[in-house]
Amino acid sequence: MKVVVTGAGGYMGRYVVRELLARGHEVTAVDLHYKEVDSRAAYSDVKIFSGDKDICAQLGNPDVCIHLAWQDGFIHNSTKHMENLSSHFLFLKNMIEGGCKKIAVMGTMHEVGFWEGCVTADTPCRPLSQYGVAKNALRQALLLLGEKEGADIFWLRAFYILGDDSRNSSIFTKLLEAEEIGKKEFPFTTGENQYDFISIKELARQIVAASTQTEYTGIINVCSGKPVSLKDKVNEFIAEKGLHITLKYGAFPERPYDSKIIYGDNTIIQKILEAEEKA
């Protein structure tokens, strides 16, 4: 397939481009910079938020658009999320109307807000951050548009992403930073909360698999489907990286808006991956 990837130079984009190329797809990468983007991809300087109605033609009339571009993704209460919302919708609307009938967009568990237990496609969403509100609104508007225009919309909802940890702002990044400056102790919560963790490479595999199939549309959780305590995952990370740092449990209280346990229902993505293996 001919696939356009926006945000191709970002945290997820570089891995998604690589995975697409490994599967033999023709990739056009779109971003403001291309450092570390696989050189086998074609690079495009098309301004995706120009509002141009012929944006699909400008991008080579792709079969699939994987839209990962998102400003301030790690700053959940940035005003940019809502300020940019209409630009995201207009770009995707123009892509669909221009003939690209397969649109995959990166979603997030932050659309859901506070929830205890398994998140399914039907779980009600009450987002608690500007990031979650904007993503939730884009999903709702895009699914309505897709139904009207006869387009396949793949809303790929991710949870907690690990790997390439120097490039994000997670606790794993902060552990690496603390180790680098020689700290021996790291202030921590109890670590009892349980989350759905996935490596960036596995996430890229799931994103590509979900975006290039035809059987399932709508919300697709791209996740492990397994809740793991933050304490266990952090200790595993410390051991794997050989860090010389000790966790100081209980130094910080649990945040009242953090779920005790939250994870994704991975039934659909597992069916997609199993179908791929049989093909």
For the stretch 17-69, pLDDT in tens is 999 999 999 999 999 999 889 999 999 999 999 999 999 999 999 999 999 99
Reading the block at residue 149, the tokens are: 């225009």
Residue type, 74: F
Mean pLDDT of 137-143: 98
pLDDT of residue 196: 97
Q: Are 119 and 267 in contact (CB under 8 A)?
A: no
Annotated active-site residue 131? The verdict is: yes
Give 181's contacts (C-beta < 8 A, 6+ positions apart): none
Please tell me what DSSP assigns to residue 151. Answer: -
Ordered alpha helix ranges (H), 98-220: 130-149, 171-180, 200-211
Residue 257 has pLDDT above 90, yes or no: no
Percent of the chain clearing pLDDT 90 (strictly above): 87
d(CA 279, CA 265): 24
Is the pLDDT confidence value at 166 over 80? no
- In this structure, is the dihedral angle defined by the CA atoms of residues 88, 212, 159 and 175, taken in order, positive or negative? negative
What is d(CA 177, CA 252) in angstroms, rounded to the nearest whole number? 18
Specify the pLDDT at position 165. 61
Per-residue pLDDT reduced to its tens digit, 181-228: 999 999 988 999 999 999 999 999 999 999 999 999 999 999 999 999
Please state which CATH number belongs to domain 2-161+197-224+264-278: 3.40.50.720
- Residue 7 has a pLDDT of 97
Domain segments of the chain: what residues? 2-161+197-224+264-278, 164-194+227-248
Q: Which of 15, 34, 131, 195 is catalytic?
A: 131
pLDDT, averaged across the chain: 94
In sequence order, the 6+-apart residues with CB closer than 8 A to the CB of 267 are: 225
Per this entry, what is the length of the chain? 279
Q: What is the pLDDT of residues 57-107, one digit of tens each?
A: 999 999 999 999 999 988 999 999 999 999 999 999 999 999 999 999 999
